[in-house]
A = this chain, B = another copy of it.
Amino acid sequence: MTDIPVPFSDVIKDIQPEPHLPWKEISERKRADRQRYLERRAEWLPKQPIPGSQKNVTTVVRVELTAEEFAIVCCDATELVKKMSDGRLKVVEVVRAFCHAATIAQQLTNCLSEICFDEAIKRAEELDEHFAKTGRPVGPLHGLPVSIKDHIMVKGLDTATGYISWCYKSVAEKDAVAVNILRKAGAVIYLKTNNPQTLLSLETDNNVYGKTLNPLNRDLTPGGSSGGESALIAFHGSPLGIGTDIGGSIRLPAACTGLYGFKASVGRIPHAGLLGSHDGMDAIIGVLGPISRSARDLSLFCKVMLEYEPWLVEPPLLEIPWKQEVVEGVGIPSRLSFAFLWDDGVVNPHPPIRAALERLKRQLLAAGHEVIDWIPIDHRYAWELITKLYFLDGGEEYRDVLADSGEPPTPQTEWILAQVPNDGQPFSVPEIFKLNLEREKFRVKLAEHWNQTKTRTTTGRPVDGIISPCAASLAPKHAGTRWWGYTSYWNLADYPAAVFPVGRCDPHDGADSEENNTAPVAPTSDGRNEFETYWEPSLYKDFPVCLQLIGRRLNEERVLGMLNILEHATNVNANCPDIRS
């Protein structure tokens, strides 16, 4: 315990005490502040105008960046740290390259919120100086630029979290514990990224900055609520970002942009120092985690977080040190047994997702692993239950924060607030106890369901992991996201889940089927067919497809270890929808 992190205590500062500017004026100021900051570094602004009609903007970075910069932003975090830690790259070069790419990403996808390039470059210079003097990195993330989702506190920066009423009133006087550890490990914080109003959205839109766009197709959402992260990372404007997930908010953005994302079980990864509604609500708890461009970066992040024994300062964290050897395969059987969740029985997945599952199944079987079907249980019920847990107060706090500034709800906020149960009234204390019990009963039933798979495997063990879609559709059109069930189910279960890319959308993946074209994703039971509209094959040409690997509670290392085995066995990594491919 020589270098434990600083405990978080939520001190925030109000830098603009006038309480009641019209909300649009506050928004205009925020946007102008951000643009002014970027324009001070004219050399990083796009040299060529990109027409709004250009939907896929991922190639712009190759054109705009120098060859050296481009080579840098194509590395994953692990590679960058290695190169800076042995002196092959200067931290300043790396930080500048990502600042440059992020500046362009902002112009094209509207993915940033707060920016601190100056401090980042100053810190980069210090790190280079340290390395020059000692020949050694300062820590396991020496020089790595890391992007931070807006609602995670970064000392000195505003934490508006997509709410007008928090703009200029939420300057963090302390770093979140995860940010504090990042800094101790040598990472460089250079910006924060956009998140949606209320955070309870799987897209990224708010009245402060507006919508964040998907760089792969700007007509589509990059997902949410960590959608500023996914847009930025997919654009190569960040090698590694931290997001949060209480219903899919790390995993869906990763899935919408062909990236990796990891939601651990509650209590493993530092989580103190977030600003959001419903602070103190612990019926269902969110998780902080990484979004990255490689599987190994997911474990790098987790490993570093736990190296600093954060449980000594953040009491809800479990003292379970990170078992990197498990990630590297120790204790994982060479022949794995996977259960495939093809369809959750509520909304059936788009043809390309189904096709990706089928392809992965063939690859796993060919590599000698076992695949059985996962029998879905209680997916609709799980959604009904988790929405009750999300809104124990009947949604009052969300409505109040919006009312404070007079800002209107975004379309996604409107949609989620329409899901509020109990007629928008708070639950009583006995009702809350009953809901907690229902959650526990769901978890018992699910655990037992998993245990019982041992009767269907040839190994005699229960299955090692579940492979599932991340959502029923690929990245939806803006304001079109509906069914969270493929991700939120695992928050209710509190199981770790990694999202990983498995290749690109094949035009033959059902797109040629007349039947699939007409109603491929009609919900199976509630009669609405709003999901149908998503599937327009032309939108998803060459679009990346991600899947989700789920493990048992607190088996984070095992999930990432299995992901390694899976990628090795199937060579899916070669299909990684990276800008390089």
Contact = CB atoms under 8 A, between A and B. Distances in A.
Interface of A: 1, 4, 7-9, 272, 278-282, 311-316, 318-320, 392-394, 396-397, 426-430, 432-437, 440-441, 443-444, 446-448, 451, 454, 461-462, 494, 552-555
Q: How many copies does the complex hold?
A: 2
Contacts of A312: 447, 451, 552
20 contacts: A1-B451, A1-B462, A4-B451, A278-B433, A279-B437, A280-B436, A312-B552, A313-B447, A314-B447, A315-B440, A315-B443, A315-B447, A316-B440, A318-B320, A319-B553, A393-B429, A394-B429, A397-B430, A426-B428, A432-B432
Name the residue in A9, A315, A454, A462 with the highest tally of chain B Cβ atoms < 10 Å from its Cβ: A315
Contacts of A448: 7, 313
A280 B435 contact: yes
Nearest to A447: B315
Given A280-B433, A281-B436, A396-B429, 6 more contacts: A4-B451, A315-B447, A318-B318, A393-B433, A394-B429, A426-B428
B436 A282 contact: yes
A369 to B, nearest CB: 19
A391 to B, nearest CB: 10
A315 B1 contact: no
Given A278-B433, A428-B426, A1 B314 contact: no
Contacts of A436: 280-282
B447 A553 contact: no
Contacts of A427: 429
A430 B393 contact: yes
A337 to B, nearest CB: 13
Name the residue in A279, A393, A429 with the highest tally of chain B Cβ atoms < 10 Å from its Cβ: A429
Given A315-B444, A448-B313, A433 B7 contact: no
Contact of A280 (B318, B396, B437): B437
A315 B443 CA distance: 6
Name the residue in A278, A318, A427, A435 with the highest tally of chain B Cβ atoms < 10 Å from its Cβ: A318
Contacts of A429: 392-394, 396, 426-427, 432
Nearest to A9: B444
Name the residue in A313, A394, A447 with the highest tally of chain B Cβ atoms < 10 Å from its Cβ: A447
B451 A313 contact: yes
Nearest to A451: B312
Contacts of A280: 432-437, 440
Name the residue in A9, A312, A433 with the highest tally of chain B Cβ atoms < 10 Å from its Cβ: A433
Contacts of A435: 280
Contact of A444 (B313, B394, B461, B462): B313
Contacts of A553: 311, 315, 319
A432 B280 CA distance: 8
A456 to B, nearest CB: 15
Contact of A320 (B320, B430, B434, B441): B320
Contacts of A392: 429
Nearest to A313: B447
A78 B110 CA distance: 66
Contacts of A7: 444, 447-448
A3 B69 CA distance: 57
A118 B444 CA distance: 33
Nearest to A555: B319
A409 to B, nearest CB: 20
Contacts of A446: 315
Pick the 5 closest A-B CB pairs, nearest first.
A280-B433, A315-B443, A280-B437, A393-B429, A280-B436
A330 to B, nearest CB: 15
A278 B429 CA distance: 10
Contact of A461 (B1, B394, B454): B1
Contacts of A282: 282, 436
A1 B451 CA distance: 9
A179 to B, nearest CB: 16
Nearest to A320: B320
A136 B314 CA distance: 46
B1 A454 contact: yes
A423 to B, nearest CB: 15
